[in-house]
Structure 1
Amino acid sequence: MSFHIFLAFSGPSADVSVSPGSTAVLNCSFTLPPQIDDSLLNITWSFNGLVIASRNHTQPGFFLNTTASFVGSFPLTVYNATPDQQGVYECRMSHNETHYSTDVTLTMTVPPLVSIIIPEVVLKRKTMVECWARSFSPPQIMFTWTRAGNKIQEPQKLQVNRTEDGLYDAVSWLTFIPQTSDHNTSFGCEVQHMALVKPIREEFTPHITVLPKVSVSAVPSASHSSPLTLSCDVSGFHPDKVSILWMQNGKVLSNLPLSVQNEEGMYRRHQYHTLSVEERSRGGEVQCVAQQPNVQEPAYGTIALSTVDPREKLKSLNVSAIVLPPRVVVGKKGRVTISVEGRLAERVQTTWYLNDAPITDTTYKAAYTPRTSRVSVVSEKSSLLPSAASGYYKLHTQMSPRSSSSSMKQLFSSVTFIPDLSVHKGAIFRCHISYKGKDKIVAERVSDKFTILAPPEVSGIQFSEPNEEGGIVTMTAQASRFHPDIITFRWFCEGGELSPVSIPQALAAPRPDADGFFSAMSQCRLPAAELERGETRVWVTVHHTALKQPITRQTRGFIKKPTVSEIISSSAAEGPVTLACDITDFYPPEISVRWLHVNGNESEEEEGSEREIRDGAELWGPLQTLPRTFRAKALLQELHETTRGGDIVCRVTHCSLLKPVDKVWRNTQMVAPSIPPSLSVRWSTDGVGIFSVLLSGGKPTAEVLWAAGGTTVSKLLSREREGENREGKPELRSVCVLLRSTGRQESDSRRAGHARKIRPPSVDCNAACERTDERADGMRSAREDKQLNEHMEENDDEDVDPSYINTVRLRKEKKERLRVTVEITHPALRLPAYLTWTEAAEEASS
């Protein structure tokens, strides 16, 4: 006979939002009648039409919790949630012919990565700017465009696409027609998403290209049969990057000047060059050099500019152009020089400028004039002008040695400076020549603009995780703080040159920072199988004009050198002894360990002085601790007295080591500490107890571990202090302070940890334990905090750190008795020693 029991759904299940890789709990609860047997209920969880969890079977990565089925609760736990697991989950429960179901939606919350793609911006031509938000979830997202901080009201397009990994990409387009007022105006794209604490804002300033006005004119010619010279005037454009291309009837004309052959078979060519006003003001001579193949000394013609413009002729001085250093490198001294020749050159003074800012000698301390020269080291005018050119400068002026024996004098004036990109980029040096005591400038020379060089700083080769499709690893090399922005990466392996990966232009192109330096990156890909064992050597060379030789970075793939600890013994000085050696942080996992017995002195190289010990040698591991990181433990068990003489060597061999690593153990005398028969306990009236133990005479120092609880115990925080007693023997005092509290027992994740200066290998207590204890402390009541403060004030002599106080929670309903125990381990002890204090039964019941 069967009964139909009606089930009632307890209420709508809340949707769940989690981050990728975290644990999600999907709740499902029903109201059950009192007489129903919950073990007869059929509960299933389904996703995309497939049953993923039931009482009989649960797929990997899921957990169906039925411990609270008697109250109608059947939560489903999703471990390490991934984007492809988001969606609608159905919880279905049935009993006999009664069925009921509810849906729970699992959503991944992943913040977007925002970037802006800026096309070529031309004045008064329609421009479309893209703002991308990539790899986010859920798909709801909002874009806002701004100009100069103000929201743009024009409608923008928006498109959202789902990617293969279950996340979403979205793009918003801003279409506008650039105007002159948009130059140097900041535009912004603001993205709002539920996974963001605050909106992400990316800004850009469009560099507007202004098209030039082009006009063509003809230079008058002698006759119609003579060559025609055309002139092209290009004006009104920005920036200063333009090239001229001549075309006739749609066909491109050659840019090279054509040579005309005469009747004798010889050629003639006309070449034109226009001197700028700045070049013309330099004066001197201009040469036209006719270079021909395989001719070492070409022919040339010379014209003196003084003959072209007699007004610029210097009466009695010949001033050279400013000579720049061949290479101007950031941080390295450079020098610019000018020479003045003439009968009155010794009466000349020079004043230097950087652009329009006067330069003074920053190294000058006091006036000094060499006896061999009548020209002062520092310009006479420089001290009268304010110093506006920042940086390091040293002025130097001297007469040529041959000037004393000739009527023509020669003076050299130079400026030594340390290039600074923020100061000297695009700058020019200017030199004014005048006679001493005169204000009139008789000559001015202006240097060319020079390029500041800064060699790149190149990082090591970095590896990505292999992709899931083909196990391909992406290798990345980065170069930073270089100038100018032209740089080349070349990838090689032992088989030849590799082709770099094509990455987005926004990432591949050199990017300037606030100081004007550039940074760039390059990537290359190889199968992980070629890199796993370090047998494939890969290197990248970085070429830059500031480098005399390219910079090389190389790697042998995924390879890490092992860290080998000292050998630890685990028994007394007499009888069998066990040795252990920890090997950590190595890759690949293949590793070789040998135990050797070395007789006599280490300096002996006689054959047969080393003997391998095979009996009792074991290798535990390798065990993977992190991605591409392994650890192992080498053991040598029951080492007898017959092999005690001499040294025991643990020899570790790995492909990352050029030679094996040897760790030596010598049979040193170990002394067990003196352990008291019981713990020292002192309680205050407010329920705070101080437990301590004093160990004396141990060598080496013992290791102490405290634990407390009721039915089960948990690790506690303690504090150790080492010193010496009156007899000069070492002492170790360990103190553990705890507060006894009754109430609901905390879960394992909230129990107090143990932080000590000495930690045994069997206890894995890291900073997370301390943080867990801090969170547990944060849940104490106001009364408990007050008790702790009063206890600290009353017991200042105990030197108790508040961060080392533990709260031990006992279950009052089970009448648990407080139990405190300490574990003492030492190499001279065969087994750990334990001291335990247990609360009296009558105290626990009270």
Structure 2
Amino acid sequence: MRCKVLVYAVLLTLIKHASPSEVQASPNTNATLPCNVTFPPSVYKIDKSLIKAAWTRNVTDIASFTGAEPWIKEGFSWETADFINGDFSLTILRASLDLQGSYKCTVSYNSTVLPSSYTTFSILASPTLSVPQQWVVLETESQLQCHAEGFYPPPVSFSWTRDGQVIQPPFSVDGEETPDGYYTAVGNMTFFPSHEDQNVTFGCRVSHDGTDQELSFQLNITYLPSVRLSVVAAKSENTPLTLYCDVESFYPETLTVSWLQNGTVLAEPPNTNYNPDGTFRTRRYYTLSEEQREQGGKVECAVNQPGVAQPVSGSAYLEKLDPRDEAPVLTKSAKASVAMMCISIVLVFLLCFGFSWRRRDEKQKSLNVSGIILPPRVTVGQKGRISVSIEGRRVDRVQATWFLNDTPISDTSLTATSKSNFNCLYNPLTTIHLPYGLTLTSPVPEKGRLLPSREEMGYYKLHSQGPLHSSGSGVQQMISSLTFIPKISVHKGAVFKCQVSYAGKEKIVAERVSEKFTILSAPEVSEIQLAETPNDPDVISMTVRAAHFHPDVITFRWFCEGSELSPVASQALSSPRPNSEGFFSASSQCKLPRTELERGGTKVWVSVHHVALRQPITRETRGFIKSPCVSKVIRSISTHEQPFMLGCEITDFYPPNISVTWLRLREGEQDDREDEVIEGGEMWGPLQTQPRLYRVTATLQRRPTNKEKERGGGIICRVEHCSLTKPIERHWRNVDIVAPSIPPSIHVCWSSEGVGVFSLLLKGGHPKAKLVWAAGGATLSPLVSNETEEIGDDGQRELKSLCALERSTSLISPTSKQPERQRNGRAIKTKAAVTDPDAEGIEYIDEKEDGENNNTDRDEETKSELEEDSDKDMEEDPGALHINRVNLGKGSRDSERARLRVCVEIIHPALTLPVHRTWTEPNEENSSSA
């Protein structure tokens, strides 16, 4: 019975608290949950019948082993043969989402419970990437989509690259859950393709749970053609009418041309030709039957291209292309009369034309110019187009000049050298910088006033389409348009002006001025930030911020549902004010009781309305939020020139998303400023401590340095969390804490007078160490010592500590004024002891050449004078080494004297515990002195 109790006691001493572990696995793979126990060493042979083991998941039994009878649930397995080795690991077969959870392993031997094992099992599935749409249209707003499918857990982060360079920074997407439990997400990128994007490699980069994937592809860019419909002149009305359609400057070569009459599709065979600039051209003919010719109406030539949603078409009416009048039936004599009459009329007209050609020429030069047509929406960063229509008989000789206010505009898109979508324009030979972000590439006349230069240049592209035949009377039409990218600082409150004149003429035929337009910029809305109210911790304030919007009118609407709460709304805390670029920012706040958010059922969202938004932007709360508690920065123990670790504990926060940044400060204690971010910091966690609280440990590995400039600055641990209005910072200054080099023993030097000088030399280390001397027999008493600090030959700091003592078996008189500093009026010179601790004999301060100080028969008056002189000398020489008197009693035997012990304690921040060095009097000296 006693032996059995002893075995149980040994087992209980081996029980330790188990720490939880985490196991992750890919779907449909096997995962092993570890469970290893150690049987007591007193058990020589393991009896398998005395083992009891069980696995549970969320209080559900998974497997059990009792009395050598195993039971295990389907989908799991374990090796019972390994039980005698202490291995009770469980294997999950074909891991899936429904098998996630917390697993517990309990083992007992002979009714004694061994340490339990807790394991958290989760699924980690990487996404599958695809970019389905790769056709885009040149200089037209296009959108690419990157699909990430089959990943778990959410979220994933999308970013886009161009030739390896990031053109859209990473943004996080939670994704949508699919019926099988996994998630799918879509990352969008909107841009305007340019000529430089042809044959360039784009990439969709997706980050998930610390791993990155990238899918590379090349864009297929479609060049929209120009389409013009014409008719082949027919020899007679009875011959079939042939139409042809000119399609030019398109890419790629593959296209389809459809012929439509009154909306009905007609069929025809195509043919294409190659242009020198790399594009293609084709002319398509279609011969109408007599029945189709008689039908008349509108005829269209529609061109479809890959990646283009709406076809490009050219149209005309058969009544204008093929005018048909009923010819009268005349006899031969009538025809001859008519011919003579026509000839006469022609001669009369030719005569009149000779006198009035100038007047008619001026009449033909008359133009009809429309007003400037503005786009319906002008958005910052997106291209907008304005245009005018010019009609006349000689529009082929007309030129249109555009102005912003009174500043000329030239085509700056041709000088673009950037490979990105937003061109950076510069031409060192012909470009002149103008106000409002404009450039002028044409020569400036010598008499003209030079305009001031400007660093920023805007994007402007001039278009001219025509001349187009608008009617059978010879009137032609030309459309002049201007494409620009609006900027608030340039275009706010501005107007466009278009001057129409004939080429080579200074006279302005017509001038049109546009109306003022409003520039739109959609707001960038932050997530809802929750924080405890400083004056009332039971109230949670929720804040949302909108930035980078224009114009300044914006509306915030707050809503709350659940637990019989009515929707509430709040107004913006501050009126929108423009920044240096002309954009506005605003914020809004709403408050709710803490109890509503802690229950988890209350959902709060805010709806942001702005004229630049087609639909309001909505932001929802993520649940209850608790501000973190941040500890001081703690440094681990290290030796000289070895890396050390800085650590900071962050506790009691929710949600678990948190950011920690390490910063190095510049030198100077009163004006510390951020110098740079320190890379290499790690974060362990977040670890759930309570149902809604987490903690993490942030660490940073550093290498000690002897540079004094780092000591003046320091390192900052900056913690950012959604519950904080500003980051929490913890400053650590002692960057260079290094333990000193400590000798293995104390050095001792005895004088002829029986005074012992004990010395210890410490090298290196930062900061200065603290030394405490003590001496005695069975018990120790503190001593007075002297420390000096110098720089050695090797450049390291040397700390020398000296302690002098004299042993005595009599009690120290309590009335003695200076027991440590006086022995018959004598004291050791500190300089002699420090510079040469190994010297034979000790020099005294009050020694005389005539030896009067060694006379022991002087009277009391002389002793008093000597004591006063000695005290005076001590005061004049404060560096004198103090002589400590140590009182030793008898040993364990009355005939024995106690052995003297001298101990020094070294205390330093880099040492976990103080280091001690002890000197003990040898037995030989003890016996000889008795």
TM-score, normalized by length of structure 1?
Answer: 0.31
TM-score, normalized by length of structure 2?
Answer: 0.28
| Bigger CA radius of gyration | 2
